[in-house]
């Protein structure tokens, strides 16, 4: 099944919980007992508690020998069946209440003992790191048994430092407008706490959203690093096509935008890994010296160039919001926006407020049905006019494996310099990655004049242009290795 799914573009992620069913005919249980990997109570007996399989034993992931044992368990799944990732759930650790398990919390007794990397302690001390150490062992197992692939791990519970091993989501939420708002807050706060690879269960895990709530949640979440629509399955269907044709169409439009933005998202991820900068940025992170950013919570930046403000109320045609310092354009219509002031952002049902920084070079892919559909996708660079200077970056590699460590990557550093009648696009790049079409398609946005000529290192080139509401839209193609592009234009007559 996994092999058949892979042929049509699906990547399979399996869920593995910490609870090991108490069953001497189950080889994992038997092996764990022989190697003494399971947690014990303070007075000596093994911890036994109910989870999904019934009564379970629990590995002590704070013990390095247990982590090594756990990592080896993945050999069949990763090296032979070749699943693409592992989802660790219930690892707070969570347990179910039962008649013979009387404590009020749904987790281990406080007297459960842990190795704690050679510093024995009770569960009171080890509780917060239990999930992190499980994902650490899982990560090492994936890396061990598929050394040519990057480990993909998801977890429900973890701790500071876990970004080295895993992605995460915000837990079992509810299908409500309040929880859409909460998901926005959680993802921002996790990002500035060091954990950027984070998202929420789109539409809510518990109960059922209507079409509008599901769509608004989806429209916000396409800008979150971890993007997943998910539910318990107990409350009706919740796929993107479950709410009628209108919402199917609008959901498709949002998901397609996510696929188009992948090179920008990937570049932002690379910046996070390289520099430690959060992928999602609250307004106060963008401009902490502006007092008006300190109490505004819903707006957030994605990387260096984008700002998003979700719609978190039903049946509205807009919302009040705030743009931080700088010059910005409306992503949907290229309208220039004033910053450092509150304004009413109108929004139709098919979109939420999204803004792009002036001078940005925003990279996009063509629409894909799954990552890797195109062996060599074309990169379109959306360049936004500025009367000044702005830096941008593009980072690409194979998306998996470790060839990037040997130079198989593409890092482009762009500088856009604009004046009243010209705009220059400069590029410096390094790396030998060739996994994209060797021509960039460039689209110029928000030019305040009619283009007269476009010149590159190889001379003057042809272009297509269209004027809409005194805004010049220009599209042209250049070699990927260009060093400088010069665009000359004639300003529109203000009386036109």
Kindly give the confidence (pLDDT) of every residue in the chain, 496 residues in length, as a single tens digit, with 9 standing for 90 and above. 999 999 999 999 999 999 999 999 999 999 999 999 999 999 999 999 999 999 999 999 999 999 999 999 999 999 999 999 999 999 999 998 755 555 556 899 999 999 999 999 999 999 999 999 999 999 999 999 999 999 999 999 999 999 999 999 999 999 999 999 999 999 999 999 999 999 999 999 999 999 999 999 999 999 999 999 999 988 899 999 999 999 999 999 999 999 999 999 999 999 999 999 999 999 999 999 999 999 999 999 999 999 999 999 999 999 999 999 999 999 999 999 989 999 999 999 999 999 999 999 999 999 999 999 999 999 999 999 999 999 999 999 999 999 999 999 999 999 999 999 999 999 999 999 999 999 999 999 999 999 999 999 889 999 998 877 667 789 999 999 999 999 999 988 765 5
| 360 φ, ψ (degrees, to nearest 5) | -70, 150
- Closest Cα to residue 220, out of 210, 228, 232? 228
Per-residue pLDDT at 381: 98
Per-residue pLDDT at 492: 85
Residue 138 CA to residue 430 CA, distance in Å, equals 34
Cis peptide before 286 (omega within 30 of 0): no
Q: 446, 334 in Cβ contact below 8 A?
A: yes
Residue 26 CA to residue 227 CA, distance in Å, equals 35
Per-residue pLDDT at 103: 58
Q: 383, 442 in Cβ contact below 8 A?
A: yes
Q: Which residues are catalytic?
A: 89, 92, 172
Per-residue pLDDT at 472: 76
Residue 452 CA to residue 432 CA, distance in Å, equals 34
Q: 84, 12 in Cβ contact below 8 A?
A: yes
Residue 390 CA to residue 243 CA, distance in Å, equals 42
Structure tokens at 31: 């092996």
Rg value, the chain, Cα? 26
Residue 405 CA to residue 68 CA, distance in Å, equals 26
Global pTM value: 0.96
Per-residue pLDDT at 144: 98
Residue 391 CA to residue 413 CA, distance in Å, equals 7
pLDDT tens profile 323-345: 999 999 999 999 999 899 999 99
Q: Residues near 314 by Cβ (< 8 Å), separated by ≥ 6?
A: 177, 212, 213
Residue 427 CA to residue 443 CA, distance in Å, equals 16
Q: Is 315 exposed, middle or buried (0-12, 13-18, 19+ CB in 10 A)?
A: exposed
Helix (H, G, I), strand (E, B) or coil at 142: helix
Q: 109, 48 in Cβ contact below 8 A?
A: no
What is the largest distance, in Å, between two alpha-carbon atoms of the chain? 88
Q: Residues near 375 by Cβ (< 8 Å), separated by ≥ 6?
A: 435
Q: Residues near 180 by Cβ (< 8 Å), separated by ≥ 6?
A: 213, 216, 217, 220, 310, 312
Per-residue pLDDT at 105: 66
Helix (H, G, I), strand (E, B) or coil at 122: strand
DSSP character at residue 378: P
């Amino acid at each position: 099944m996994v092999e058949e799914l892979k042929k049509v573009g699906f990547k399979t992620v399996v869920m593995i919980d910490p609870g090991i069913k108490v069953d001497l005919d189950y080889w994992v249980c038997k092996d764990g007992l022989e190697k003494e990997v399971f947690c014990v109570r303070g007075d000596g007996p093994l911890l036994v508690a109910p989870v999904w399989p019934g009564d379970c034993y629990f590995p002590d992931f704070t013990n390095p020998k247990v982590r090594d044992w756990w990592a080896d368990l993945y050999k069949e799944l990763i090296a032979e069946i070749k699943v693409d990732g592992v989802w660790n759930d219930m690892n707070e650790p969570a347990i179910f209440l039962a008649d013979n398990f009387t404590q009020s919390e749904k987790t281990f007794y406080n007297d459960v003992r842990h190795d704690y990397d050679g510093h024995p302690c009770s569960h009171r001390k080890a509780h917060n790191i239990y999930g992190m150490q499980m994902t650490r062992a899982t990560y090492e197992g994936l890396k061990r048994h598929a050394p040519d692939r990057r480990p993909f791990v998801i977890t429900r519970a973890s701790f500071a430092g876990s970004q080295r091993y895993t992605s995460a989501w915000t837990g079992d939420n509810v299908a409500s407008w309040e929880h859409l708002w909460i998901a926005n807050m959680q993802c921002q706060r996790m990002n500035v706490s060091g954990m950027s690879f984070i998202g929420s269960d789109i539409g809510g895990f518990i109960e059922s959203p209507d079409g509008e709530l599901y769509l608004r949640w989806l429209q916000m979440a396409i800008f979150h690093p971890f993007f997943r629509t998910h539910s318990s399955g107990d409350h009706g269907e919740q796929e993107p096509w479950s709410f009628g044709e209108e919402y199917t169409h609008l959901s498709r439009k949002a998901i397609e935008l996510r696929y188009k933005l992948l090179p920008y998202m990937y570049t932002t991820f690379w910046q996070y890994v390289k520099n430690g900068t959060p992928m999602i940025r609250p307004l106060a992170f963008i401009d902490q010296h502006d007092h008006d950013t300190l109490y505004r919570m819903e707006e957030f930046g994605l990387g260096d160039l984008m700002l998003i403000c979700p719609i978190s109320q039903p049946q509205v045609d807009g919302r009040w919001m705030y743009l931080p310092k700088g010059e910005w354009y409306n992503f949907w219509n290229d309208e220039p926006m004033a910053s450092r002031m509150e304004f009413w952002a109108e929004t139709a049902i098919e979109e939420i407020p999204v803004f792009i920084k002036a001078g940005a070079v925003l990279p996009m892919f063509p629409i894909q049905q799954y990552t890797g559909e195109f062996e060599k996708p074309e990169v379109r660079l959306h360049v936004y006019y500025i009367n000044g200077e702005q830096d941008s970056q593009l980072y690409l590699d194979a998306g998996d494996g470790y060839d990037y460590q040997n130079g198989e990557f593409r890092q482009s550093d762009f500088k856009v310099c604009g004046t009243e009648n010209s705009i220059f696009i400069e590029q410096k790049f390094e790396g030998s990655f060739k996994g994209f079409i060797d021509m960039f398609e460039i689209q110029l946005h928000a030019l305040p004049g009619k283009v007269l000529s476009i010149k590159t290192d190889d001379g003057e080139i042809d272009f297509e242009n269209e004027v809409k509401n005194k805004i010049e839209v220009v599209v042209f193609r250049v070699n990927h290795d260009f060093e400088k592009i010069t665009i000359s234009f004639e300003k529109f007559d203000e009386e036109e």
